[in-house]
């Protein structure tokens, strides 16, 4: 009778372990698919006029060179590049 109990306990432990692993795998799959959805959202990219690096528009510095607040045609990756462009343009 003791051997039967031991085998039953081992079987229950294996089934519980498999259920936990399946749950973890499903949770990880759900997290990775939501992470891919976040990454796949495309941001508008702009190019720095000085170094030609591309960066998201939200991180770029608008080149309001003429003083008007319209949408800028010039974008910069840093304030130093904006100042350099102003000096070159003058």
What integer pLDDT is reported at residue 44 of this predicted model? 86
Distances from the Cα of 3 to the Cα of 10, 25, 33, 47, angstroms = 11, 33, 45, 73
Question: Given a cut of 80, is residue 90 above it in pLDDT?
Answer: no
Per-residue pLDDT reduced to its tens digit, 5-63:
999 999 999 999 999 999 999 888 777 666 655 655 677 889 999 999 999 888 899 88
* Cα–Cα dist 80/36, whole Å: 35
Asked if 86 and 64 touch (Cβ cutoff 8 Å), the reply is: no
* Domains of the chain, residue spans: 1-41, 45-89
pTM score over 0.85: no
Question: Which 3 state secondary structure label does DSSP give 82?
Answer: helix
């Amino acid at each position: 009778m003791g051997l039967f109990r031991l085998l039953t306990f081992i079987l229950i432990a294996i089934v519980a372990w498999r259920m936990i692993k399946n749950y973890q795998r499903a949770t990880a799959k759900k997290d990775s698919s939501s992470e891919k959805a976040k990454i796949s959202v495309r941001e508008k990219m702009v190019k720095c006029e000085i170094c030609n690096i591309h960066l998201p528009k939200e991180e770029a510095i608008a080149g309001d060179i003429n003083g008007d607040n319209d949408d800028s045609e010039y974008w910069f990756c840093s304030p130093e590049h904006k100042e350099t462009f102003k000096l070159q343009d003058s």
